[in-house]
Each structure stands twice: as C-alpha cells, then as structure tokens.
C-alpha cells in the first residue's frame, strides 16, 4: 500500500475518456462490394450479348409461330411451321442428309484423330511434323476457300478425274458434285479433311498430359498397342473426345457455306441441309416463319447435343 506521502506526491492520472468505438467491418460487406463490382464490369458485355443474341433469339421464337413473308401482315399459325418441318418430305430429307454428314464430319475425323494420337503416344516417327501440318492446314483456311478448291477438284475436267483416267479408271470419272448418288459423300469427304486436323491436334495435345508411366506400366503388363489404346490413351482423352464430338456434330448440323458454294443443295435436293433450307425459306421463297422454326429447331438440337455430351463426359 502507498503511504500518505506517496499518495500526495503521486502524479495525477486523468481518467480515460470513453469514446464510441467504430463497429468492426463485416466480411459480408466486402464480398458484396466485390460482387457488385464484378456485375458492373460484366454489365456492358452482358448487355451487348443480350442485344445481339438473346433478343434476336426471342424474336425468332416469336416469328416461328406466324406465317409471314417479311413485308406484309403476319398471321398466327401456332405450331404449323414446326409441323411442316417434320412432315414436309423435302425438309425431312435434310435431317437424313445431316446424319450422313455427321459420319463424315464427326465420326471419321475423331476415329482418325484418335489413331494418330495413339501412334504418336507410342513413339515419334519421322515426318510426323509434316503430317500434322498438312492435315491442320484447313483450320487456317476459310470454309469458302476450301469449298472453291474442292469444287475445282471434283469438276468433270478436274484433277480427280484426270488421275482416274491416268491410272486406267476412266470409267469411274464423273461430275462428282452433279451426281445424285455421289454428291453428298463427296461433300462429306471435304468435311472429313477439314475437321480431321482439328481433332488430331486436339488429341495429340491431350496425350502430352497423360503420365508416361501409365504406358510403361501397361507395356510391362504385356499390353499390346490395342489394349494400351483402350486402357490408357482413350480414358486419358475423355475430355478432348467430348469437345471434339460437340464441335464436330454441331458443325455438321450447321453446314451451310460448304454446300452453298459447291452445290447450293443440288442436284435436286440431294445435298440440301437444314441451314440451306433455312436460307431459301428466309430469302428466296420467302417464308420467314418457316425459316425461324427451322432455326429454332436446330438451335435446340445443338444445345441438347452439347448438354448430353458434357453430362456423359463428366460421369465417373
């Protein structure tokens, strides 16, 4: 205890001043500000996307329920345009043509691309760089240029028929794009050449992410090339295969420029695709409502394919 003298001589300490303390900041306020900032930065792109994609899409859905020539008054017809797309023999044939193109645009390029990836995964061979460059070349060319080149190749006096005549197979020479039987497969082969390079490069890049020890383990277990492909390479390329299937199938469904530049849907309707039928209905006939129904149907189909492929690839 302090003595009386110490109490009198002790310095006087002022009483602490009580002030209102600043309330601590809540973590939710900072997160909310960041979220609002992100939305503000995304507002302009979202508005632009809505103006050029969502609003025209909504208008197309609306037009698909009307009979309209693009100029006069529109007449409500309900689902008649969609029924025409399903019942009209010409429009229904375009679905069959697209299924044929899916084989050439998607199945063949993916199979050949997987084969190329499997060969490169087992070891490098001489000339592979040139091989990849040749088949990736269509990816740097516009589809119109590719169509013009192959229109010349398939011509009656084109290089393909010249080669056939030179090797003694002149009886097989024909105007390929004017033949009712061979016009669609001829266009399909163009699609195979155009998409194979993309699939090949995609799968080769995927094989670089596969652990080389998996191949060594498979070889030590006595796995041959086929078993090694199905047990190591193909499972490792699951994501790349899903991407390739989605892009190539939707590309075949939307095929327009290749067909329009080479055959315009002919001869007759043997190469007519939904995209070409949509163009004819919108700008040549004109039946804007039918064209909108075709476009909406194909858009929904492409979306369903993308969703199904993505969900399938995500399953364990």
Residue-wise pLDDT tens digits, 237-263: 999 999 999 999 999 999 999 999 999
What average pLDDT does this structure show over 42-61?
91
114 contacts 206 by C-beta, under 8 angstroms: no
The mean pLDDT of 40-66, rounded to a whole number, is 91
Closest CA relative to residue 186, chosen from 199, 175, 198: 175
Q: Rounded mean pLDDT of 31-45? A: 84
- In angstroms, the CA 32 to CA 52 distance is 30
Percentage of residues of the chain with pLDDT beyond 90? 55
At residue 89, does pLDDT exceed 70?
A: yes
Tell me what pLDDT residue 312 has. Answer: 87
For the cut 70, the answer to whether the pLDDT of residue 86 exceeds it is yes
Domains and CATH numbers, the chain: 33-76 (no CATH), 82-314 (1.10.3720.10)
Give the model's pLDDT for residue 162: 95
**Residue 106 CB partners (closer than 8 Å, separation 6+):** 195, 244, 245, 248, 249, 251, 252
249-300 pLDDT, tens digit per residue, is 999 999 999 999 999 999 999 999 999 999 999 998 889 999 999 999 999 9
Reading the block at residue 71, the tokens are 């100029």
Render 134-168 in DSSP notation, one character per residue.
HHHGGGGS-HHHHHHHHHHHTSTTSHHHHHHHHTT
pLDDT in tens, 4-32: 444 445 455 555 554 545 555 555 677 78
pLDDT, one tens digit per residue, over 121-174 is: 666 566 667 777 777 788 888 889 999 999 999 999 999 999 999 999 999 999
Share above pLDDT 70 across residues of the chain, in percent, rounded to a whole number: 88
**Tokens for 131?**
């091989």
pTM, entire model: 0.82
d(CA 34, CA 41): 11
- Tell me the C-alpha distance between 201 and 197, whole Å: 6
Mean pLDDT computed over 229-235? 89
Output the average pLDDT for the chain. Answer: 86
For the segment 70-81, what is each residue's pLDDT rounded down to a tens digit? 888 999 999 999
Six token digits for residue 208: 């670089």
């Amino acid at each position: 205890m302090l003595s009386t003298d110490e109490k009198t001589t002790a310095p006087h300490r002022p009483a602490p001043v009580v002030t209102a303390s600043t309330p601590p900041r809540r973590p939710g306020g900072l997160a909310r500000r960041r979220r609002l900032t992100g939305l503000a930065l995304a507002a302009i792109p979202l508005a632009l996307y809505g103006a050029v994609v969502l609003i025209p899409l909504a208008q197309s859905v609306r037009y698909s329920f009307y009979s309209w020539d693009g100029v006069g008054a529109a007449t409500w017809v309900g689902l008649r345009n969609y029924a025409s797309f399903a019942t009209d023999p010409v429009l229904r044939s375009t679905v069959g043509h697209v299924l044929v193109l899916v084989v050439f645009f998607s199945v063949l390029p993916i199979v050949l691309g997987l084969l190329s990836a499997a060969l490169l995964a087992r070891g490098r061979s001489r000339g592979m760089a040139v091989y990849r460059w040749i088949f990736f070349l269509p990816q740097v060319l516009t589809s119109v240029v590719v169509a013009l080149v192959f229109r010349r190749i398939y011509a009656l006096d084109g290089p393909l028929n010249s080669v056939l005549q030179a090797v003694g197979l002149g009886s097989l020479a024909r105007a390929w794009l004017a033949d009712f039987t061979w016009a669609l497969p001829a266009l399909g082969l163009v699609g195979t050449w155009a998409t194979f390079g993309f699939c090949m490069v995609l799968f080769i890049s995927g094989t670089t992410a596969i652990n080389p020890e998996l191949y060594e383990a498979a070889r030590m277990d006595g796995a041959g090339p086929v078993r090694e492909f199905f047990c190591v390479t193909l499972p490792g390329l699951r994501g790349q295969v899903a991407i390739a299937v989605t892009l190539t199938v939707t590309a075949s469904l939307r095929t327009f420029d290749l067909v329009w530049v080479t055959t315009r849907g002919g001869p007759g309707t043997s190469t007519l695709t939904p995209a070409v039928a949509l163009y004819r209905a919108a700008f040549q006939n004109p039946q804007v409502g039918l064209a909108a129904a075709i476009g909406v149907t194909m858009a929904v189909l492409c979306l369903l394919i993308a969703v199904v492929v993505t969900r399938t690839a995500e399953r364990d």
